Amino acid sequence: MAIVSVKEILEHAWGHKYGVPAINVFNYETVKWAIEAAEEERLPIIIQFYPGFAEHIALKYVADFAVDMAKKARVPVAVHLDHSPSYEIAVGGIRDGFPSVMVDGSVLPYEENVELTRAVVRVAEVFGVDVEAELGHVGSGSSLDDIVNEKNYTSIEDAVDFTERTGCGSLAIAVGNAHGVYIREPRLDFDRIRAIRSAVKVPLVLHGCSDIPDDQLKESVNLGLSKFNIATEYDRAFYTAIAARADKTEQKGSFFRLQEEAAKDIRAFVAGKLRLLNPNGYAL
């Protein structure tokens, strides 16, 4: 199966009432095992990379091997560049081979966010690349204000205006979600999700899905959210798998063997998220 665009996957998911996990990767294995889980579950998946990790691994390396693995996968797999805070980083992602990029102008004044997003969309359209944008601001789960202050949430009227003027392919919304570890259990604003979903014409994205309770994620799928970003929990799943399977009494340990063992736990983690976000039992 050839690589499929983020746009196609999200529109299909929206139409068929399931959500797609967008898994944040940081090396070859994080890509490989997520795709293997999607193949086992027979469901589409999105692989994404946060450009803030570019010092750890160059964007081009990730784009090269992730796109190649996506092309060879037996299920639809899309590859995406996560939070690009500037024009240069977003367009640099296009140059480096990402078939989809996020431009995040959510900390900018509204008109500047429109301008930045529109500028990236114009370049992306030339290359046939999808663009995700953000409106409202998805902050940090460590800040109570970021989670509960509705001033950070996405305005319904602005979301309509923003998507029409920028031409973005999907929109990340702030509805009580946040990045990283939550200081307290999040409570998503379902009325706002419902209102934005009925007002806006593009697929919607929920960032900060790690540790959002399962029932709230299922409800979000049923209300029509399409892309669910999972970074913190995936990173933690790696740590937990390696820590649990490492044998400290072993004298001549093999990291290769250890990671092959850990892969089972990682695939199980991703499979669990694929099933959770597919509450209506969609099958390819």
Catalytic residue selected from 82, 96, 146, 189: 82
- Those residues whose C-beta lies under 8 Å from the C-beta of residue 82, and which sit 6 or more positions away, are 22, 24, 48, 49, 50, 51, 102, 229, 231
Asked if 227 is part of the footprint of Zn ion (rule: CB under 5 A), the reply reads no
Selected range binding Zn ion among 72-80, 154-162, 205-213, 220-228, rule: CB under 5 A: 205-213
- Those residues whose C-beta lies under 8 Å from the C-beta of residue 16, and which sit 6 or more positions away, are 280, 282
Show the CA angle centred on residue 32, arms to residues 96 and 232, nearest 5°: 85
Selected range binding Zn ion among 15-23, 115-123, 141-149, 203-211, rule: CB under 5 A: 203-211
**Any binding-site annotation on 230?**
yes
Active site residue 214: no
- How many residues touch Zn ion under the rule CB under 5 A: the total is 1
Q: Which is nearer to Zn ion, 32 or 137 (CB)?
A: 137
CA distances from 144 to 139, 156, 185, 211 (A): 10, 23, 10, 15
Evaluate whether 192 touches 224 at the Cβ level (below 8 Å): no
Evaluate whether 46 touches 227 at the Cβ level (below 8 Å): yes
Helix (H, G, I), strand (E, B) or coil at 79: strand
Q: Which is nearer to Zn ion, 207 or 273 (CB)?
A: 207
**Any binding-site annotation on 208?**
yes
Q: Which is nearer to Zn ion, 197 or 207 (CB)?
A: 207
Q: Which is nearer to Zn ion, 182 or 262 (CB)?
A: 182
Selected range binding Zn ion among 31-39, 41-49, 64-72, 204-212, rule: CB under 5 A: 204-212
Find the residue with minimal CB distance to Zn ion. 207
What's the min distance (Å) between Cβ of 126 and Zn ion? 26
One of 137, 197, 207, 267 touching Zn ion (CB under 5 A): 207
What is the Cα–Cα distance from 180 to 107, expressed in whole angstroms? Answer: 18
End-to-end alpha carbon distance in the chain: 12
What's the min distance (Å) between Cβ of 179 and Zn ion? 5
Residue 256 exposed, middle or buried by CB count within 10 Å (0-12, 13-18, 19+): exposed
**Any binding-site annotation on 209?**
yes
**Any binding-site annotation on 207?**
yes
- Bind-site residues for Zn(2+): 83, 104, 134, 179, 207
User: Annotated binding site, which residues?
Assistant: 83, 104, 134, 179-180, 207-210, 229-232
List contacts with Zn ion (CB under 5 A). Answer: 207
Active-site residue set: 82
